[in-house]
Amino acid sequence: YGRLGLDLAITTGIHDGESAIKALMVGADVTMLCSELLRKGTGRLGEIEQEMRHWMEEHEYDSVDMMKGSMSQKSCPEPAAFERANYMKTIQSYDRYPTV
């Protein structure tokens, strides 16, 4: 986030306000929720907006801009620790014999 001067769109896994917020906090400029709207209808947009507003109010965020990138490596006081944690998570998720 914030290092290459590119826009970031999250296109998979956004089905509710919480997942949209997570994407924004790691630096996404937009989140796309086409499959959610196709499955549940366009009325879902208002519900997701309300979920996001409620979460932002609870966590004292005044705007999306304020939360955007707040959980990115760039915002981390110790970027090396951030990288190590992500590396460890990747190593722990390795499955030598994945099932098909």
Domain ranges (residues) in the chain:
9-72
Percent of residues, the chain, with pLDDT higher than 90: 58
HSE-up of 39 (CA within 13 Å, CB side)? 7
In the block, tokens 């998720």 appear at 93
Q: How far apart are CA 24 and CA 10, in angstroms?
A: 9
| pLDDT per position as a tens digit, 57-97 | 999 999 999 999 888 777 777 778 767 777 788 888 888 78
CB 79 within 8 A of CB 1: no
Is pLDDT at 47 greater than 80 in this prediction? yes
In the block, tokens 């760039």 appear at 74
**What is the chain's mean pLDDT, rounded?**
88
Instruction: Using alpha carbons, list the distances in angstroms from residue 36 to 10, 11, 93.
Output: 14, 11, 27
